[in-house]
Amino acid sequence: MKKIFNMIIIMSIIFSNLTYAYDEDSNYKNYLKDLIEYHEDLKYVGFRPALALRFLRKDFDIDMDDFKDSLIEKDGENVPDLINNIINEFAIGKDKDDLEDLLEELSDSQTKKGYFYLKKGDEHPANTAWAMILLNMFDYSYDEEDAIDYLLSLKLDEGNFYKKDDLDTTAIIVQALSKFEDKDEVKDAIEDAIKYFEDSQLDDGEFLFMGDKNPYTLIEIIQALISIDYDIYSKDFSKNNDNLVDILFRYYDDGKFVYKTKFGKEEKLCTQRAFTLLAQIYEEDYLFEDYQDFSDEDDESDEDKDLEFEIIDYDIDEEEDAKFEFEITTKKDLDCVLIVCLYDEDEEEMLYYSYNYLDLKEGEEKYMELGFYLPKDSSLIKIFLVDSLKNMENLVDVNTFEVD
């Protein structure tokens, strides 16, 4: 009965409306579900989380029409406004062709000195870095060499960019340069910046901005590392057995992220920035890598799927037992759990279950058998293939069989 009781607890947790304390073994899906709900209740949503919502829409069944009224269209008179409007339009479903005029305007704002400028205030190099990130994302033409030379001209001896102790601007510039790592001078500059991040990290794993620990600098640095495919769980940035993601979750509080300052609590901005980052950690991809990553094309065909699961034979004897034979093929390494559950006639109680942990290797075809004795009054069998007993995320459709 202990196994049955444990499984019922697991299943009840999955389908209940809970928030979650941080769990370093999580795949972050539960946190993202809560954070998506948080954004659904916001009056205004920034362009970063708007793009993250579109990034996640297939996995989380997000309808971007629900967020149209939450996105702010700005006047477009400066570079940040143009970036905001382009991302927001793209987030709600516009494609590159629809954005041609805005992208052209952003590209044309590049000066002969390489930086991007429309109006006073645009001179901060973060605006040029953001313009490059966006134009790179949409593979839209601009003078790349002049822009790269401009950013590299801002590099300081310590490895950072622009100003002393400016970790945030350095992290954004690394993202802008990430597409050009094949150039030796860019590669060297990025390596120096990473070393600067390491040297700037405090003993507790945090980073300072204007003398205070804050999540925004941490988030920008992690995003910079993702943009260059750096292992964000690396020991290089781990302190006291906490990696960078562990440190980020110090700011997590019951379905949101909170930054406590001497002036009070910052919740909305902190949550939106953290959510944007967490979407990338979950997808294991840089959010601004390639606009084609957001394709609305139908899901891949069966022959293109990474995982194939087939019940090739089964035998259900009402008076005795049930046996199933499975064949599983995967195109990538995969840890998962195969579960067979037995329910009573009303499907209100799980009577018994059997499970096997599977460690599948890329290209492997695995054949196996699984089964159990059928108690009296059993009437329904369900078969699950899930990522883990902790998350219970279905990897294939649930198979259901009636006991005759």
Predicted confidence (pLDDT) per residue in 84-96, tens digit: 999 999 999 999 9
DSSP letter (8 states) at residue 69: G
Domain(s) labelled CATH 1.50.10.20 in the chain stretch across 19-294
Closest CA to 127 of 115, 135, 136: 115
Give, in degrees to the nearest 5, the angle at Cα 116 between 110 and 119: 110
Average confidence (pLDDT) over 132-154: 98
Predicted confidence (pLDDT) per residue in 323-335, tens digit: 778 788 888 888 8
260 Cβ contact partners less than 8 Å away, ≥ 6 residues apart: 266
Tell me if residue 41 falls in helix, strand or coil.
Answer: coil
CATH class of 302-402: mainly beta
Closest CA to 70 of 56, 86, 90, 49: 49
Question: Does the pLDDT value for residue 302 go beyond 70?
Answer: no
What's the pLDDT at 313? 76
Multiple choice CATH, 19-294, 1.20.58.100, 3.30.930.10, 3.40.50.150, 1.50.10.20: 1.50.10.20
Predicted confidence (pLDDT) per residue in 165-186, tens digit: 999 999 999 999 999 999 999 9
pLDDT band at 319 (very low <50, low <70, confident <90, very high): low
What's the pLDDT at 26? 56
pLDDT band at 103 (very low <50, low <70, confident <90, very high): very high
Q: Return mean pLDDT, the chain.
A: 86
DSSP string, 298-317: PPPPGGG-SEEEEEEEEEE-
Question: Does the pLDDT value for residue 11 go beyond 50?
Answer: no
Length of the chain: 404
Question: Does the pLDDT value for residue 6 go beyond 70?
Answer: no
CB of 171 within 8 A of CB of 224? yes
Domain(s) labelled CATH 2.60.40.10 in the chain stretch across 302-402
Query: How many Å apart are CA 356 and CA 359, to the nearest integer?
Result: 10
Segment (H or E) for 153 = none
pLDDT band at 348 (very low <50, low <70, confident <90, very high): low
165 Cβ contact partners less than 8 Å away, ≥ 6 residues apart: 200, 208
DSSP letter (8 states) at residue 259: E
pLDDT band at 297 (very low <50, low <70, confident <90, very high): low
Average confidence (pLDDT) over 43-47: 96
pLDDT band at 372 (very low <50, low <70, confident <90, very high): low
Residue, of 170 and 363, whose pLDDT is higher: 170
> For strand 378-386 and strand 365-373, is the pairing parallel, antiparallel, or unpaired?
unpaired
Q: Which two three-digit tokens encode residue 399?
A: 């198979």
Question: Does the pLDDT value for residue 209 go beyond 80?
Answer: yes
* Cα–Cα distance list, 299 to 58, 88, 271, 304 (Å): 9, 24, 30, 9
Tokens 């601007």 sit on residue: 169
Query: How many Å apart are CA 52 and CA 279, to the nearest integer?
Result: 6
Query: How many Å apart are CA 160 and CA 181, to the nearest integer?
Result: 17
Query: How many Å apart are CA 173 and CA 125, to the nearest integer?
Result: 8
Query: How many Å apart are CA 162 and CA 176, to the nearest integer?
Result: 14
Give, in degrees to the nearest 5, the angle at Cα 370 between 369 and 374: 135
